[in-house]
Amino acid sequence: MNKSKPSKLTLFHTSMLIIPEKADPELDSIAATWETEGGSVLRLGRFWEPFDTASLFPKLYGNEVFCRLIAQQADLRLVSPEDDLLLRIDSKWLNRNISLIELSALLASGSAVQFPVFVKPLITKQFQPGVYRSALELHKATEGLEIVEQVIVSEVVSFSCEVRAFVFLGSVLALSIYEGFAEEEEAGLFIQGFLSESMSLLPVTCVVDFGFIEERGWSIIEFNPAWGSGLNGCDPKMVVKCIYYATEKPVKNMDIIGAHAYSSNHEDVLLEDSICGCFYCLTIFDPCEIEEWIEDKKGTALCPYCGIDSVIGESSGYPITKEFLAEMQGYWF
């Protein structure tokens, strides 16, 4: 039977958003929205020093160095798209030639790659991504890197518009055309089509940038983590949910046996969650997708993807992540 999700207060009451101290319009708007939703905000200047969040669950937002240092210090996991995700999606969503090449092959004389090309490091921040007009120019930019490092190479194209989408569980929560002009409805149809087909490749939340190439069509540009992406015109009221789920607790030392108790007789609390997961098929989804329940004492969910009664929600207090679900699967199945 179908169950509608009841209204609830907010995700944010037990959380603390940690952001850089510096004044910034986007940081300020995110912080203000977070507090409006009932959460706390901690602005850190000397972020390498210890800090106390008491009983609140830290959530991070800011530049990459800031977030990674705080995550390490607070023993948190940042949710990010895989480095090679762009290479794993169906080429029909790209509308341009993209490949993964070893740096040595790209720099070698007689390389099959014709410059100019767009080159991006597989591992972020190794060098500046951009259009390189010769092997010599690229060599100077990558000096000091191991030649066995792999890089993403793309033909040079021109985007007439660029769009940013904050995504959660395969749905667009916020969308903004931040460069050029396009019909928002048309852009929305493209990204939702991509998400419907590619959801299994994406993390719980991330940012997808895409654009339009004249005479070719819409194209996925890149993927970025929600915890480190600027708003680029997106509504902060919608973005904060993505930021919330972009920081997770690590799985280590979790009570895998005790967690099992939260996979049954849970209909009332599960329908108040925003996210749940199945530790049989490892799918993460919105509880409103659940259509069948075992009519036991309090109602036990059957996974809408595999039909097994192995669904656990975020109200359990355990992280609803692939890693945690896999630990549960390994023990209980």
Please give the average per-residue pLDDT across 143-161, as a whole number: 91
Based on its alpha-carbon atoms, the radius of gyration of the chain, rounded to whole angstroms, reads 22
pLDDT at 133 (0 to 100): 94
3-state SS class at 169: coil
Q: Is the pLDDT of residue 45 over 50?
A: yes
- Res. 217 pLDDT band, cuts 50 70 90: very high
Residue-level length of the chain: 333
Query: Rounded mean pLDDT of the chain?
Result: 91
Please give the average per-residue pLDDT across 26-34, as a whole number: 97
- Domains in the chain, CATH or no CATH each: 8-78+228-248 (3.40.50), 97-154 (3.30.1490), 158-224 (3.30.470.20), 256-332 (no CATH)
pLDDT at 3 (0 to 100): 42
pLDDT digits over 72-100, tens only? Answer: 988 899 999 999 999 999 999 999 999 99
Please give the average per-residue pLDDT across 1-16, as a whole number: 59
Return the DSSP state at 91. Answer: G
Output the CA–CA distances (angstroms, integers) from residue 139 to 136, 143, 294, in the order listed: 5, 6, 62
| Region class of 57: left (phi > 0), else alpha (psi between -120 and 50), else beta | beta
| Region class of 327: left (phi > 0), else alpha (psi between -120 and 50), else beta | alpha
pLDDT digits over 296-319, tens only? Answer: 888 999 999 999 999 999 999 898
Please give the average per-residue pLDDT across 151-164, as a whole number: 96
Q: In the chain, how long is the greatest CA-to-CA distance?
A: 72
Q: Of 3-17, 116-130, 168-182, give the lowest mean pLDDT range.
A: 3-17
Q: Of 75-84, 108-117, 307-316, 320-329, give the lowest mean pLDDT range.
A: 108-117
- Res. 54 pLDDT band, cuts 50 70 90: low
Residues 19, 22, 26, 31, Cα dihedral to 10°:
40
Pairing of β 130-132 and β 117-121: antiparallel
Output the CA–CA distances (angstroms, integers) from residue 281 to 45, 83, 246, 292, 306, in the order listed: 43, 24, 22, 16, 6
Q: Is the pLDDT of residue 8 over 90?
A: no
Name the amino acid, one letter, at 258.
G
Q: Which string of DSSP letters, residue by residue, matches 242-298? A: HHHTTEE---TT--HHHHGGGGSS-HHHHTT-S-EEETTT--EE-GGG---EE-SSS
- Out of 2-16, 107-121, 303-317, the most confident range is 303-317
